[in-house]
Amino acid sequence: MALYITNNNNISNFDSRFHVLLKSEIKKTVNTYGTIKKLLSDLIERDKFEGNFQESLAFNTSNDYLSLIGIGDKKDLSPEKIFKIGSFITYSIVNSKKNIKSLEIVLPTFFKAKELEKFLMGLFYGHYYFDKYKTKKSNLTDINVSIVLKSINRTNFKKILTKSQNVINGVNFTRLLVNEQPEILTPIKLASYAKNLSKRKNTTCDIFDEKEIKKRGMSGIWNVGKGSSNMPRFIHLVYKSRSKGKKLKKIALIGKGMTYDSGGLSLKPADFMLTMKMDMAGAGCVMGVFEALSLIQPKNIEVHGLIPAAENMPGPDAYRPDDVVVGLSGKSIEVINTDAEGRVILSDAIEYANRLKVDEMIDLATLTGACMVALGSYTAGIFSNSKKQVDKIIQSSISAGEKIWELPLDEELRPSIDSIIADIRNSATTRYGGAITAAMFLQHFVDKSIPWSHIDIAGPAYTESKRNWVAPGATGFGVMTLIDYLKV
């Protein structure tokens, strides 16, 4: 079930080969294929293969298999595209009936460390399938992969390989958590996964059970969670590496951990409830980052992972529209809609981060359908009180190949979440700008002196559509961006 990747300087006698090439390199590539050169160029002619991005051309001889894979023009290439090409290759093997045990991948000669890293991440990413509940398992076998690329020496190759594998282990851990069915992945189960992470070096984990949550006054989490027989948990992970006398910058990563969002008493219609097991994808992302960190073991960082975990259910004990909730911050929240629950549990986690006196915080949450209306299913929205921080995160998202777009915290919309009987209401008077008013609700709880960004991942965290480079379901969105941001 693993990929074993090595580096080679030269093209060998192949069984299975994927040859990745630019549009401009078709002629040059064909010329390297001595005996089959003529056959190959005829085929290219016949099929009008141009080498466009993700265009492929397969060529079979009696015992060999060759596939040309286009990546388009060099000037249009991006980390996102390179990642997708890598993932496309392994994902197409996972999806095929071919029993490929070893293959060779020829990369464009201009690939340097950055390109190689993104490509390898793609290979590991595509070699994933959540088939736990399938009687017929997917074609996820061990594969030996030989990468042909001269420009990188062995030591560097090894380093890049290890890094990419560690990062994607984190991403695929997130996918596993998010794909798991909600009957199994309860707040308690999520907490036990977090506890497991603390067996690793430099990683610790505190779990607050429902008693502790109440005792500490985390009433946001308690009120949202009390409607379910699966009791809520608060998870506090820390990754802290040794450093002699050096004061470390403290960063908090906060993830929404709604293990199921039925909407609560403001129950969702059937069609909207489906897939709501993914409402803990923010938490999943934070845990994926910790998985990656604990494998990479970077020095001189201190990261706090804060996860409010609960299940939003209707029932005799459920919180109600009209309730007023006073959480850890002491600020009162008028409950308008129990389906706007993410912001209620996050308010406690944000106040907890304030009290930790962190130097910066980033929260990730599948917070609003409105964000998907604004940006579509593949792009996350980001909101921030710090220009410097948000610019850095967006830069990281570009290097990581994940799409994040900034949306405004619009003061003109702020009155729509003013409440008559409490300090703030959990759902605005208008549905226009729903992603923004949700973000501004969170902002109400953030200590103004702390740089903070909120990333709404409702769209990109989960994909129902069939694409040729990624398995449907959880995507692990955000892990690669955050790892890049942490500069580990």
What type of residue is 277? Answer: K
Under the binding rule (CB under 5 A), the answer on residue 210 touching Zn ion is: no
**Cβ at position 435, least distance to Zn ion in Å:** 13
Under the binding rule (CB under 5 A), the answer on residue 456 touching Zn ion is: no
What type of residue is 28? Answer: K
Under the binding rule (CB under 6 A), the answer on residue 427 touching ligand BES is: yes
* 268: annotated active-site residue: yes
Strand-by-strand arrangement of the 424-425 sheet: 324-326, 332-334, 424-425
Under the binding rule (CB under 6 A), the answer on residue 370 touching ligand BES is: yes
Looking at 268, 331, 392, 414, which residue is catalytic? 268
Stretch that binds ligand BES, among 52-60, 109-117, 197-205, 365-373 (CB under 6 A): 365-373
Window 261-290: residues binding Zn ion (CB under 5 A): 261
C-alpha neighbours within 13 Å on the C-beta side of residue 406: 17
Rounded to the nearest angstrom, the gap between the alpha carbon of residue 402 and the centroid of all alpha carbons in its chain is: 9
Looking at 17, 189, 343, 425, which residue is catalytic? 343
> Which tokens belong to 435?
């992603």
CA–CA dist 344, 195 (Å, integer): 24
User: Site size for ligand BES, by CB under 6 A?
Assistant: 15
Question: How many CB atoms are closer than 10 A to CB 141?
Answer: 14
**Cβ at position 426, least distance to ligand BES in Å:** 7
Nearest to 156 by CA among 96, 125, 114: 114
Instruction: Choose the contact partner of 203 out of Zn ion, Mg ion, ligand BES, none; CB within 5 to 8 A by kind.
Output: Mg ion
CA–CA dist 158, 151 (Å, integer): 13
- Residue 247 makes CB contacts below 8 A (sequence gap 6+) with none
**Burial of 474 per CB tally in 10 Å (0-12, 13-18, 19+):** buried
**Closer residue to ligand BES, CB minimum distance, 168 or 440:** 440
**Closer residue to Zn ion, CB minimum distance, 57 or 374:** 374
Window 341-360: residues binding Zn ion (CB under 5 A): 341
What type of residue is 246? Answer: K
Q: Determine which residue in the list 368, 396, 416, 475 makes contact with ligand BES, applying CB under 6 A.
A: 368
**Closer residue to ligand BES, CB minimum distance, 218 or 278:** 278
Helices (H), 136-225: 154-179, 187-197, 210-215, 219-225
* 431: annotated active-site residue: no
CA–CA dist 430, 442 (Å, integer): 17
Under the binding rule (CB under 5 A), the answer on residue 294 touching Mg ion is: no
Q: Determine which residue in the list 339, 360, 363, 484 makes contact with Zn ion, applying CB under 5 A.
A: 339
Q: Determine which residue in the list 458, 471, 474, 480 makes contact with ligand BES, applying CB under 6 A.
A: 458
CA–CA dist 483, 488 (Å, integer): 7
**Cβ at position 191, least distance to ligand BES in Å:** 20
**Cβ at position 212, least distance to ligand BES in Å:** 24
Under the binding rule (CB under 6 A), the answer on residue 369 touching ligand BES is: yes
CA–CA dist 317, 123 (Å, integer): 47
Under the binding rule (CB under 5 A), the answer on residue 169 touching Mg ion is: no
Give me the residue label for tokens 């802290």.
240
CA–CA dist 472, 380 (Å, integer): 18
Question: How many CB atoms are closer than 10 A to CB 326?
Answer: 15
Rounded to the nearest angstrom, the gap between the alpha carbon of residue 249 and the centroid of all alpha carbons in its chain is: 24
**Cβ at position 172, least distance to Mg ion in Å:** 21
Window 239-278: residues binding ligand BES (CB under 6 A): 261
Residue nearest Zn ion, CB atom distance: 339
**Cβ at position 370, least distance to ligand BES in Å:** 5
Window 192-231: residues binding Mg ion (CB under 5 A): 198, 203
**Burial of 137 per CB tally in 10 Å (0-12, 13-18, 19+):** exposed
Rule CB under 6 A: which residues touch ligand BES? Answer: 261, 279, 337, 339-342, 366-370, 427, 434, 458
Residues that bind Zn ion (CB under 5 A): 261, 339, 341
Given the rule CB under 5 A, which residues bind Mg ion? 198, 203
